[in-house]
Structure 1
Amino acid sequence: MVDTTVLRDDLRFGEGPRHGPDGRLWYSDFYDHEVRALDLDTGEQEVVCEVPGQPSGLGWLPDGRLLVVSMLDRKVLRLEEGGLVEHADLGGVATFHANDMLVDAHGRAYVGNFGFDLHAAIAADGEAPLMEPDWVAPGTALALVGPDGSVAVAAEDLKFPNGTGLLPDGRLVVAETLAFALTAFDVAADGALSGRRVFAPLREHLIAPDGIAVDAEGGVWVAPALQPFAFRVEEGGVITHRVRTSQTCFAVAIVGDRLVCCTAPTSQPEVVSGARLGKLEVVDL
């Protein structure tokens, strides 16, 4: 029996969920090319914008303007009154599709990318080779985008940098999906990262961390990408809570006192791009 309740079951593939400044759940649907905002209490949903290059990570500048990752053209876009405009070009940093994003209170954005064609690798050989301890994913950089759209490298040689969050003590935590680990960094006043270390090793639990959400106590809720669960992980790798979802969980967000999970049977485009198998699922914390 699952622990969640299905809010919506008409998605293609939901990603990048965020608790918006207006209290609604904001999320991207890759293959509908839409960013949406959903009122969890009324069920009313709005299509905020359409992103032809496939939307992913979301965040807001201090003045409230929305930033959204455009995956296929490796850009961060900014929503103005007249529509989306280019905020930053990640082509000099991202080595494959741009992905999840965290925007901090200063308007600095940390943006991950695949690093290589993961979907093609899985289509060719399945997921099993990626889970072998001696298989090493290609490294790629985490991008740091300034509020003015300037782009720099925040950290190098990450194994599929994905969900990102800020811990209560100010450290940044990044889900390295294909390292099967959460990685922590110290954050300088200018947003630069240092002091890289493992926050939580997760390989023994077969958790390939995808989306994450940090709670007020410093626990990290993790979407495992390979299992129909969401896990709460503390520093060192201790799992304190487990929520069962109806299908594989790829992203999570904390909205008020609820955990929202984006689920789908798989992340492979050939399966989910043409069907509506994705769901938004919720559980009270």
Structure 2
Amino acid sequence: MSVECRWDLRALLGEGPVWTARDNALWFVDIKRHALHRYDPATDSRRSFAAPAQCGFVLPSADGKFIAGLEGGLHRFDPATGAFELLTVVDPDRPGNRLNDGVVDPRGYLWFGTMDDAEHESSGRFYRLDDDGQVRQRGFGCPITNGPAFSPDGLTGYFVDTLARKVWAYDVDAQGQLDGRRLFAAFDEGLGYPDGPTVDDDGHVWIALYDGWGARRYSPAGVLVETVRLPVANVTKLAFGGVDRRTVFATTAAQKLGPDALAHQPLAGGLFAWRASIRGLVDVEIQHGI
């Protein structure tokens, strides 16, 4: 398996890669530099947009635009103009929080998490954007939320408690209610911290490892079946893309790395890619609450 750096942009906190079939491009963010990025692998073209605040994710919506998770709430983002429009404020009673990771489930609902920007308080929560445009809490609270991710049928959700080094699985019903919480995977000290998850076409869960130099693939039963090593320590999230859905893209982070670490990881913060033997799920646009 050959892992290559596709874009040496040296992101402080690259995150949230998502493949958009409507323009055959990968979108992702640099949270700490308030930036959105678009990468077209067919032409190797790159474009960047400035965000008005820290941006945890940008996901395609059925109106042809995107929903961006900015520091204080959900915004509509129009790539034609670069404009952001506030849709709803999130966690107004927790001023130290920001939005972090997000995903669209197989039913077209947006799920996302918040976190303590200082990474200490258990003030983060998971939410779903419902049909009426309101965000409602789902799941548990912790300092750093990541995910969730969902099985191909949408009946199982995977929620990451990064600082506790644990990934939890839930049963998910048609109304987005969660039940049957169970431990899906735990990471011993020294393996890194579980970061953004994604699911492939076989229902296996891929988990990026922050300070873990790679990613791990788990069966739906929680059995480790594959490990991929990257040349940088802080791997934040994976996304399947390309026309055949067999290219795996990985965002990474250069934040908190000192001069010695950066000298040994000159590509830290880059966008990486490799070819996989399996396909990723077809990305779904946000259909509800927009």
Instruction: Give the letter for the 2:177 counterpart.
Output: A
Question: Shift of the alpha carbon at 1:101?
Answer: 0.7
Report the counterpart of residue 215 of structure 1 in structure 2: 200
Question: Shift of the alpha carbon at 1:190?
Answer: 2.2
Contact 2:105/2:149 (CA < 8 Å) preserved in 1? no
Report the counterpart of residue 100 of structure 2 in structure 1: 99
Question: Shift of the alpha carbon at 1:16?
Answer: 0.5
Contact 1:33/1:54 (CA < 8 Å) preserved in 2? yes
SS of equivalent to 2:194: coil
Instruction: Give the letter for the 2:118 counterpart.
Output: D
Alignment of 1:156-235 (within 5 A): 156-158=140-142, 160-170=144-154, 171-203=156-188, 206-235=191-220
Q: Distance in 2 between matches of 1:209 and 1:105?
A: 23
Instruction: Give the letter for the 2:140 counterpart.
Output: E
Q: Distance in 2 between matches of 1:90 and 1:116?
A: 14
Question: Shift of the alpha carbon at 1:276?
Answer: 8.8
Q: Distance in 2 between matches of 1:141 and 1:269?
A: 31
SS of equivalent to 2:228: strand
Question: Shift of the alpha carbon at 1:282?
Answer: 0.8
1:8 aligns with 2:7: yes
Question: Shift of the alpha carbon at 1:225?
Answer: 0.4
Distance 1:145 1:57, change over 3 A: same
Instruction: Give the letter for the 1:166 counterpart.
Output: F
1:53-74 Cα deviation digits (max 9, x unpaired): 1111222223332011112xx2
Contact 1:11/1:29 (CA < 8 Å) preserved in 2? no
Q: Distance in 1 between matches of 2:2 and 2:190?
A: 20
Contact 1:200/1:234 (CA < 8 Å) preserved in 2? no
Q: Distance in 2 between matches of 1:233 and 1:240?
A: 6
Q: Which runs of 5+ in 2 are unaligned?
A: 277-290
Range with bigger deviation, 103-112 or 263-272: 263-272
Report the counterpart of residue 280 of structure 2 in structure 1: none
User: Match for 1:283 among 274, 285, 288?
Assistant: 274
Report the counterpart of residue 250 of structure 2 in structure 1: 261
User: Match for 1:141 among 125, 133, 140?
Assistant: 125
Distance 1:219 1:159, change over 3 A: farther
Q: Distance in 1 between matches of 2:256 and 2:131?
A: 31
Instruction: Give the letter for the 1:182 counterpart.
Output: V
Report the counterpart of residue 251 of structure 1 in structure 2: 237
Question: Shift of the alpha carbon at 1:197?
Answer: 1.7
SS of equivalent to 1:210: strand
Over the residues paired in the alignment, what is the CA RMSD in angstroms?
Answer: 2.9
Instruction: Give the letter for the 2:271 counterpart.
Output: L
Question: Shift of the alpha carbon at 1:227?
Answer: 1.4
1:123-149 Cα deviation digits (max 9, x unpaired): xxxxxxxxxxxxxx7363212222543
Report the counterpart of residue 114 of structure 1 in structure 2: 115
Q: Distance in 2 between matches of 1:115 and 1:236?
A: 31
Contact 2:171/2:181 (CA < 8 Å) preserved in 1? yes
Instruction: Give the letter for the 1:100 counterpart.
Output: D
SS of equivalent to 2:122: coil
Distance 1:105 1:265, change over 3 A: same
Contact 1:233/1:241 (CA < 8 Å) preserved in 2? yes
Instruction: Give the letter for the 1:246 counterpart.
Output: P
Q: Distance in 1 between matches of 2:141 and 2:230?
A: 32
| TM-score normalised per structure 2 | 0.79
Contact 1:201/1:236 (CA < 8 Å) preserved in 2? no
Contact 1:62/1:106 (CA < 8 Å) preserved in 2? no
Instruction: Give the letter for the 2:16 counterpart.
Output: G
Distance 1:90 1:267, change over 3 A: farther
SS of equivalent to 2:57: strand
Q: Distance in 2 between matches of 1:45 and 1:78?
A: 21
Contact 1:250/1:263 (CA < 8 Å) preserved in 2? yes
Q: Which runs of 5+ in 1 are unaligned?
A: 122-136
Question: Shift of the alpha carbon at 1:169?
Answer: 3.3
Report the counterpart of residue 134 of structure 1 in structure 2: none
Range with bigger deviation, 251-260 or 182-191: 182-191
Q: Distance in 2 between matches of 1:177 and 1:227?
A: 12
Q: Distance in 2 between matches of 1:31 and 1:140?
A: 18
Contact 1:181/1:203 (CA < 8 Å) preserved in 2? no
Q: How many residues align?
A: 262
